[in-house]
Copies of this chain bind each other. A is one copy, B any other.
Amino acid sequence: MAPMTTAVPPVTTAELMEAVAAVGSAYFLDFAAAAGRHGLSSSQAKALAAVLEPVPMRALAGRLGCDASNVTGIVDRLETLGLARREAAAADRRVKMVTITPEGAEVLRLVRADMTRTHHAFDSLGPEQRTILNDLCRQVLPLLVA
By a beta-carbon cutoff of 8 Å, the part of chain A in contact with chain B is 8, 10-11, 13-17, 19-32, 46, 65, 112, 115, 117-125, 127, 129-134, 136-138, 140-141, 143-146
A100 to chain B, nearest CB (A): 16
Could you tell me if A13 and B137 are in contact, using CB atoms closer than 8 angstroms?
Answer: no
- Give min CB distance, A29 to chain B, whole Å: 4
Q: Which of B65, B132, B143 contacts A121 (CB 8 A)?
A: B143
A21 & B27 in contact (Cβ 8 Å cutoff): yes
Interface centre among A8, A122, A132 (most CB of B within 10 A): A122
Give A9's nearest chain B residue, CB to CB. B131
Query: Are B26 and A118 interface neighbours, CB within 8 A?
Result: no
